[in-house]
Structure 1
Amino acid sequence: WEMFNVLDLYAIPDRTHDSGRKGYSVHAIIRALIVKHRERIDSIPRLIDHLKGNPILSELCGFPNGILPDASQFYRFLQGTKHSVFERILHAVNKTLIEKKAISLDTFILDSKPVLAATKENNPKNPDRNITKKEQKPKRNHDATLGYLAKAPGGSSSFFWGYRTHVIVSKEGIALVECTLPNSVTDAEVAKTLIKQLKKLYSFGKGALFIADKAYDVNELYDLIIGRLKCQAFIPLNLRATKTSHPLGEHGRPLCDAGLEMSSDGTFFDKRRRTIKRKFICPNKQSKNHGMACPVNHPKSQGYGCTKYFCEVHTARASVPRDSAHFAREYARRITVEQYFSRLGPIEAEQTTHYKLRTVKNQITIAHLTQSLIALAAVSMNKPESIRCYRTFAHVA
C-alpha cells in the first residue's frame, strides 16, 4: 500500500473521455503493472490470475469488486501510451528521493543489459534459428537487432536478437535516467545522450564521478565528462581499441625484457612537448610477488632496475590515473549497477513478451519505476536502510 501511496498519478488522466463504454481506470492498470514487476510475474495473463487470487491487492490497485480488464486492455495500454508518460513518473519519484536526501548526486555508474526479443530465433532448442544474418529480421520484431550475449544461460556465449536497456544509477543503486534501444546502438553513443539528460534533469555539480566499464572507453565521452562537465571519469582502457607497438600485460602495463608486467611509478606532464609521460619500473624492485633475481640478468638489475616511459598526447582520455589506488577504489563501486540489474530481475531485464519497441520501452521503464518506488516507500516509512531490499521490504510496502 505504501508504494501506491507515494505514487503520484494526478498528472495522468484516469479515464479517456471518448464516447462508448466507461472502460477501466488508467491509474489502476499502471498500479497493476507495477505489481507485475514487483512480483516478477512474466506475463500479463499470469498477472491477471495473480490479481484474481488476491482480491485485496486487486482493490488496492483500483479494480472494484474484483472486476479486472482483459489481457488485451493491458497490451493496448502499453502499446498506445507514450513512453514519456512513464519517464516523467520515474523522474518525479527520483526527484522526491533527492529532496529527502536518500539519493546523492556525486557518483554515477553507467551500464547496460540485454533484453531478449520474443522470437523463436532466441530459442536455443530451435535448430533453424538465425543468429548470423543480421539483415534477416525476425517476424513481428522489426526493431530488434542482432547482438552478442556475453553470459548466456548455462555459462556459454551466444548471439541473440533484441535490445539493450541503458541506465545511469546513483551510488545508492537507484536508476536516475534510462532508455531501451536496439542492439545496434553502442553503449558509448547512448551514454552521451543519457549524461546530457541527467545534467538537464538533476543539475549535478562539478567534480562528480562517472564510473563505467571499458565499453565506454571512447574519446568523445571523456571530452564530455572531463572537458565540458568538469567531472571525473573512472573508465578502464579497452585494449582492443588501443593501438600500441609495445606488448602489454593483463593490467595494461608494459612488459619488461623478462616478460614480467612492470609496476607504475607515477605520471607527469611535459609542458614543452604537451604530452603525458608515464613511468614504469622493474616489478622485482616494487613487488614481493617476484623473486629478486632478474630472469634475463638485466644490466641494471643489481641497482634501481629497468625502467620504461610511455608518452601520450595530452587528452582527457590520457589524463585518467588508471594505475592509482584511488582509481581502483572508486572503480570497485561499479558492482552497484550489477546489483541493481540483479534486483531488476532476469525476466524484466533479459526477456520481454512484447513485439513493438514502444511497448518494450514502456515495460522496461515500469520495471525501473518499481525499484524507485520501493526506495521511496522505504524512506517514507523511515527505513532508509531498506531502499534496496527487493524481497524483504517490498511485501511490507
Structure 2
Amino acid sequence: MAVIYRQEILQDITFFTSAPKAQFYDKLFLNLDLSEFPEYTAKTGRNGFSKRALLCAFIVMKCECFSCITDLIDYLNNNLIIAHYCGFNIMKPLPSHRTVDRFILELNNDLLKKLMKSQVLKLSKMGIIDTSFIALDSTPVSANTRQNNPKSFAKNKFSKDNQPRSDKDCGLGVHTASNQHNERNFEYYWGYKNHILVDCITGLPIYELTTSDNVSDSTAALDILSQTNSFLSVDECTFLADKGYDVKAIYNTVKELYHGEYVIPLNKRNTKDPKKLASGHPICEAGLAMHKNGKLSDNGRTRQKYCCPLKNSKCASCPCDHKNWNNGKKHRGCTKYVTISDDYRLSIDRECISFKKLYALRTEAERYNSRFKQTGQERLWGHSFNAAQNLNSVAHIALLAVALAAIVTKSNSSYRCLKSVKRIA
C-alpha cells in the first residue's frame, strides 16, 4: 500500500513546484489574451507544437530572467505544472532546443507588436496607462559575437569594416555613462537598440521599436510617436527625453502635429558659450561690447549680426590686435552671430522650477530599462535582427502581462516589481 501511495505522490506534478510560483503563472496566463495570436501556422503536414504555448514558454523565460533556451527547457522539464499552464501536453515530450529556437527566429514580429498593442489598450481602458506624460529612451542590446567579449584581443574588433560573421544585421554603437558631450566613460559594442516609449506615471511601456545600433535616437523618435498615435492618441501630451533627442524636428512635430509640450535639455553640441552683457550683446576678444549690424536668415533660422565697435573709427586701433582688423579691407574688425530664439527649441526656459520637476519624471524610463535588462535582454543569444526584435518584444509583453495580472487580481504588491508579484502570488 505504501508503494502505491508513493507512486501517486510522484505522479502529482504540483508537489515539485512552489505554490506561489504555480499560482503566479496560472494567474498570468489566465489574464493574457492570445485569441488573436495564431495557434498553428502550418498549412500542410502536422501542426507540431502550439505557437501560443511556445510564446507562453518565452514569457516564462523572461519572467525567470533566463538568458538562453537551455535554461528554459530544463526549467519546464523540472516544473511540469508550469509547462501545463503554458499549454503543452505534459504527457508527451516537451519541445526540443531546435524547435524553440526556430520559433523565435521565424516568428513574424508584427504578431508580437499586435499583442503588445492589445495589452496597452486594455490597460488604457482600465485607466492605468495614460499618455499625459510620456518619456522616450533607448537601451543597448549587445549581439552574440566574440567581438563583444572583453577578453577577446582580436585586432580592430570595433572597426566598421570588421562586421561580425555571426550576426550580419547588428551595428556598431557606443554606450556612454551619460549624455554629456565631454563624457569620456564610454565603450564600443556591436548590437542593437531598443527604443521604448514609457508612461511616466505608471512606469509601463506603451510602444517599443528595435533598430540597429547605428540608428540615432532622434531618427527613431518621430516614427515611434506616429505609430503610437495610430492606436493610442498622444495629442496634448508632455514629451520627455534626454539630450539625445534635442532636435528641431521633434520640437516642431510635438508642438504643431500633436499640440503637446516638450521637456528636453539643451544639447550644446560643443558650441562655445560667448561672454555677453545683460542686454545680450556679446563681448569681443578685446573686452569691448559689440554693436548690432543687421540680421541674417538662412537654413530656417534668424541670426543677429554683431560687429566690432571700432569698425567705423578712422583713428582707433584694435586693443588686442585682432587678425581681422588689419585685413586691408574697408569693413574691418571681427563679427559674431547670435541665433534669435524664434523657434520652439530655443524658447524653453530650462532653468525654471517647473521644467526641472517635469524632467525628473523621465527617470521612470530609466527604471523601466533596468527592469527590461533584468529579463535577460542585456545580451542576446540569437544571431539575427528578427530574433533580436522578437526577444525584445516578448520581454515587454511579459512585463505588461505581469502588471495586468497583478492589477486584475488586486495583488498587494507593486505591479512594476516582478519579484514581489511572483513571491506573493
Common topology (TM > 0.5): yes
What do you get for the CA RMSD once the two structures are aligned? 2.7
| Residue 381 of structure 2 corresponds to residue 353 of structure 1 | yes
Q: Describe the shift of the 1:48–1:232 C-alpha distance in structure 2 as closer, same or farther (beyond 3 A).
A: same
Once the 2 structures are TM-superposed, how far is the Cα of residue 204 of structure 1 from its aligned partner? 3.0
| Residue 345 of structure 2 corresponds to residue 317 of structure 1 | yes
| Residue 223 of structure 2 corresponds to residue 197 of structure 1 | no
Once the 2 structures are TM-superposed, how far is the Cα of residue 18 of structure 1 from its aligned partner? 3.4
Correspondence for 1:137: 163
Once the 2 structures are TM-superposed, how far is the Cα of residue 254 of structure 1 from its aligned partner? 12
Q: 2:212 aligns with which of 159, 179, 182?
A: 182
AA matched with 2:240 = I
Q: Would you say the 8 A contact 1:131–1:160 is kept in 2?
A: no
Q: Describe the shift of the 1:347–1:99 C-alpha distance in structure 2 as closer, same or farther (beyond 3 A).
A: closer
SS at match of 2:110: helix
Q: Describe the shift of the 1:129–1:54 C-alpha distance in structure 2 as closer, same or farther (beyond 3 A).
A: farther
Give structure 2 stretches of 5+ with no counterpart.
1-25, 179-183, 285-300, 305-337
| Residue 260 of structure 2 corresponds to residue 231 of structure 1 | yes
Correspondence for 1:263: none
Per-residue CA distance 1:23-47 (angstroms, 9 max, x = gap): 1111110000000001100101110
Once the 2 structures are TM-superposed, how far is the Cα of residue 368 of structure 1 from its aligned partner? 0.7
Question: Quick one: distance in 2 between partners of 1:336 and 1:213?
Answer: 12
Give structure 1 stretches of 5+ with no counterpart.
258-273, 278-309
Question: Quick one: distance in 2 between partners of 1:376 and 1:187?
Answer: 29
Correspondence for 1:20: 45
Once the 2 structures are TM-superposed, how far is the Cα of residue 395 of structure 1 from its aligned partner? 4.6
Once the 2 structures are TM-superposed, how far is the Cα of residue 104 of structure 1 from its aligned partner? 1.7
Once the 2 structures are TM-superposed, how far is the Cα of residue 384 of structure 1 from its aligned partner? 7.8
| Residue 65 of structure 2 corresponds to residue 37 of structure 1 | no
Q: Describe the shift of the 1:247–1:37 C-alpha distance in structure 2 as closer, same or farther (beyond 3 A).
A: farther
Question: Quick one: distance in 2 between partners of 1:126 and 1:311?
Answer: 48
Q: Describe the shift of the 1:55–1:129 C-alpha distance in structure 2 as closer, same or farther (beyond 3 A).
A: farther
TM-score where L is the length of structure 1: 0.80
Q: Would you say the 8 A contact 1:102–1:379 is kept in 2?
A: no
Question: Quick one: distance in 1 between partners of 2:134 and 2:371?
Answer: 18
| Residue 104 of structure 2 corresponds to residue 78 of structure 1 | yes
Once the 2 structures are TM-superposed, how far is the Cα of residue 166 of structure 1 from its aligned partner? 0.3
Question: Quick one: distance in 2 between partners of 1:140 and 1:369?
Answer: 27
Question: Quick one: distance in 1 between partners of 2:272 and 2:255?
Answer: 24
Question: Quick one: distance in 2 between partners of 1:175 and 1:75?
Answer: 26
Correspondence for 1:382: 410
Once the 2 structures are TM-superposed, how far is the Cα of residue 20 of structure 1 from its aligned partner? 3.0
Q: Would you say the 8 A contact 1:123–1:129 is kept in 2?
A: no
Per-residue CA distance 1:121-146 (angstroms, 9 max, x = gap): 00000111534311221002111111
Q: Would you say the 8 A contact 1:121–1:129 is kept in 2?
A: no
AA matched with 1:204 = V
Question: Quick one: distance in 1 between partners of 2:163 and 2:344?
Answer: 39
Q: Describe the shift of the 1:120–1:151 C-alpha distance in structure 2 as closer, same or farther (beyond 3 A).
A: farther
SS at match of 2:231: helix
AA matched with 1:166 = H
Question: Quick one: distance in 2 between partners of 1:81 and 1:129?
Answer: 36
In the TM superposition, 1:194-273 aligns within 5 A as 194-206=224-236, 208-240=237-269, 243-244=271-272, 246=274
Q: Describe the shift of the 1:22–1:205 C-alpha distance in structure 2 as closer, same or farther (beyond 3 A).
A: closer
Q: Would you say the 8 A contact 2:173–2:213 is kept in 1?
A: yes
Q: Describe the shift of the 1:58–1:24 C-alpha distance in structure 2 as closer, same or farther (beyond 3 A).
A: same
In the TM superposition, 1:322-333 aligns within 5 A as 322-333=350-361
AA matched with 1:235 = I
Structure 1 or 2, whichever has the larger Rg, is 2
AA matched with 1:322 = R
Per-residue CA distance 1:270-300 (angstroms, 9 max, x = gap): xxxx9899xxxxxxxxxxxxxxxxxxxxxxx
SS at match of 2:102: helix
Percent of aligned pairs with the same amino acid: 29
